[in-house]
């Protein structure tokens, strides 16, 4: 199904996100209250949005994705007063996944009293020096759609549905956080909470389900999935009790099962 939006004489088809098992939660900074993104978010199925005060960024999606939205006019103004680079520095230092959402088309540049080269230079600094991705959207509706799609991709990444490119994290804490994000249902924010509470990856792995549940954002289901992943190796399914063979155990010894096709059990 697609949601159709009309802009002048053009019909823009924006695919509607599929229904998620749990709603995508979006916290909108109060300064964005009157923009079209808020209204567009309300049109998506499976999205819960609310207005609040954010100390950094404009949109916090699923507690892990933080977006700073700027129109081209906003971008030019923030370059002139130096605000863009202060914001970029804070966003780059934040442990969550952060990005700048740049809204507008080439025609919008006609309304900006700044040379194109100056804008391009600022974007080079933001992306290559600060390491922040810049996502482009034509209008408020597409800005909302990009954030919802990003949330879906982040969930797929957390569950392992998207192959990850292996990178060597720099620094012990970053390495620990990356290891913890390999656990089911654990993103960057939950990984930071786990590490702050238990102090080490080893302590997290050894924590009981009850101790894990005490961490904000980790419910009983996630705690049980974590315990299932970090618990002892599961029994082998090559043989099961009752089929005449001994099942493999979790000890260091290996149980070898020989299957002779000539010895078939006959029906009773």
Domain assignment present for residue 141? The answer is yes
163 confidence band (pLDDT: 50, 70, 90)? low
- First-to-last CA distance in the chain? 55
Residue 264 within a domain: no
**Whether residue 88 sits in one domain with residue 42:** yes
CATH of the domain at 198: 1.10.150.20
CA distance 41 to 261: 61
Q: Is residue 134 part of a domain?
A: yes
Q: Is residue 257 part of a domain?
A: no
Q: Answer yes or no: do 63 and 182 share one domain.
A: no
- Residue 25's pLDDT is 94
**Are residues 137 and 13 part of one domain?**
yes
Euclidean distance between CA atoms 136 and 142, whole angstroms:
9
Q: How confident is the model at residue 138 (pLDDT cuts 50, 70, 90)?
A: very high
- Is 24 among the domain residues? yes
- Average pLDDT score over the chain: 78
Range of the domain at 102: 2-158
DSSP characters over 140-185 = HHHHHHHHHHHHHHHHHHHTT-SPPPP---SSHHHHHHHHHTTSTT
User: How far, CA to CA in Å, does 95 sit from each of 54, 160, 188, 192?
Assistant: 15, 20, 7, 8
Which stretch, 10-14, 117-121, 239-243, 249-253, has highest mean pLDDT?
Answer: 117-121
- Determine, yes or no, domain membership for 187: yes
pLDDT band at 57 (very low <50, low <70, confident <90, very high): very high
Q: Which residues pair with 147 in a beta bridge?
A: none
Confidence of residue 261 (pLDDT cuts 50, 70, 90): very low
pTM: 0.55
Whether residues 17 and 112 fall in one domain? yes
| 102 and 197 part of one domain | no
Same domain, 220 and 153: no
Closest CA relative to residue 141, chosen from 266, 16, 268: 16
Q: How confident is the model at residue 248 (pLDDT cuts 50, 70, 90)?
A: very low
Nearest C-alpha neighbor of 72 from the set 32, 30, 12, 116: 116
Q: What is the pLDDT of residue 266?
A: 43
Residue at 265 is within a domain: no
Pair (40, 119) in one structural domain: yes
**Residues 60 and 84 sit within 8 Å (Cβ to Cβ):** no
10, 35: one domain: yes
What is the domain count for the chain? 2
In a domain, 198, yes or no: yes
> Can you give the CATH number for the domain in which 23 is found?
3.40.50.10130
């Amino acid at each position: 199904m697609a949601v159709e939006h009309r802009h002048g004489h053009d019909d823009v088809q924006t695919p509607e996100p599929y229904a998620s098992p749990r709603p995508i939660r979006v916290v909108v900074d109060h300064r964005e209250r009157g923009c079209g993104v808020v209204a567009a978010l309300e049109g998506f199925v499976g999205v819960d949005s609310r207005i609040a005060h954010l100390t950094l960024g404009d949109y916090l999606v699923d507690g892990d994705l933080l977006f700073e939205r700027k129109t081209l006019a906003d971008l030019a103004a923030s370059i002139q007063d130096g605000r863009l680079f202060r914001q970029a520095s804070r966003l780059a230092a934040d442990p969550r996944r952060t990005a700048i959402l740049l809204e507008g088309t080439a025609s919008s540049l006609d309304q900006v009293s700044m040379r194109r080269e100056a804008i391009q230079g600022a974007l080079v600094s933001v992306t290559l020096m600060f390491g922040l991705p810049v996502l482009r959207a034509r209008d408020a509706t597409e800005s909302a759609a990009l954030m919802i799609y990003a949330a879906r991709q982040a969930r797929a990444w957390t569950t392992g549905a998207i192959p990850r490119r292996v990178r060597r994290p720099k620094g012990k804490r970053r390495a620990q956080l990356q290891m913890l994000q390999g656990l089911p249902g654990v993103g960057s924010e939950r990984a930071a909470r786990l590490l702050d509470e238990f102090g080490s990856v080893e302590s997290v792995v050894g924590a009981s389900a009850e101790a894990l549940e005490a961490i904000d954002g980790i419910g009983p289901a996630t705690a049980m999935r974590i315990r299932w992943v970090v618990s002892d190796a599961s029994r082998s399914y090559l043989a099961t009790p009752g089929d005449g063979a001994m099942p493999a155990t979790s000890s260091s010894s290996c149980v070898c099962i020989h299957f002779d096709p000539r010895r078939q059990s006959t029906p009773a």
